Amino acid sequence: MDIAPLTHSSLAIQIHATAAVLAIVLGTVLMVMEKGTGSHRALGRFWVGLMAVTALSSFAITEVRMFGPYSWIHGLSLLTLVFIARGVRAIRRGRVAEHRSTMISLYVFALLLTGGFTLLPGRRMHAVLFADGGTSAGIAGAIALAFIGVLLAMRGARAQSLARRRRG
């Protein structure tokens, strides 16, 4: 791993990448934690802020130009902002299922899928993660999977504990 390609980038790119990485980590935590709690709401608000920063900061990144200073990826940023508003509006109106599907869609498509494209050869994040031939990326991936496994195990243990309390 070599963060030089990121540290030598514009402030907009640094903000964008930092917000996106934090949103991926926090989004993963939110996916496995108990829903509807005060913690879920507080962390969810923070996640929405990270998503907004990620989307808005993309408009200051104009390296790929297709339509004036922008490209198709900026259309995805607009769509992300629309879906953020839709998800927030849904939960405020008590439409939990709509909120859930909207936020999961944002996590999967706006973060994981588009984030995956940043790992293609020739892209900045590819240079960051695979500078050493992929060793650091492999270790980071293993740590991420272990982290997700621990979160899922904690979720399962909490669910079992709640079920035991309900039974008696």
Residue-wise pLDDT for 124-163, tens only, equals 887 887 777 767 777 777 777 777 777 777 777 777 777 7
Cα–Cα distance for residue pair 53/17, rounded to 1 Å = 10
Q: Mean pLDDT, to the nearest integer, of 102-119?
A: 86
67: left (phi over 0), alpha (psi -120 to 50) or beta: beta
Least confident span in 52-66, 85-99, 105-119, 146-160: 146-160
pTM of this structure = 0.78
For residue 56, the model assigns a pLDDT of: 95
Half-sphere exposure of 17 (CA within 13 A, CB side): 20
- What confidence category does residue 7 fall into, taking pLDDT thresholds of 50, 70 and 90? confident
For residue 124, the model assigns a pLDDT of: 81
Please tell me the total count of domains within the chain.
Answer: 1
Counted residue by residue, the chain has a size of 168
Least confident span in 10-14, 82-86, 87-91, 134-138: 134-138
42 pLDDT above the threshold of 90: yes
Q: Are 87 and 53 in contact (CB under 8 A)?
A: no
For residue 87, the model assigns a pLDDT of: 97
Residue 9 main-chain phi, psi, to 5 deg: -90, 170
Q: Mean pLDDT, to the nearest integer, of 71-84?
A: 87
CA angle 7-13-18, nearest 5°?
80
Range of the domain at 22: 4-167
Helix (H, G, I), strand (E, B) or coil at 36: coil
Q: Mean pLDDT, to the nearest integer, of 21-25?
A: 92
User: Which residue from 83, 91, 105 is spatially nearest to 27, judged by alpha carbons?
Assistant: 105
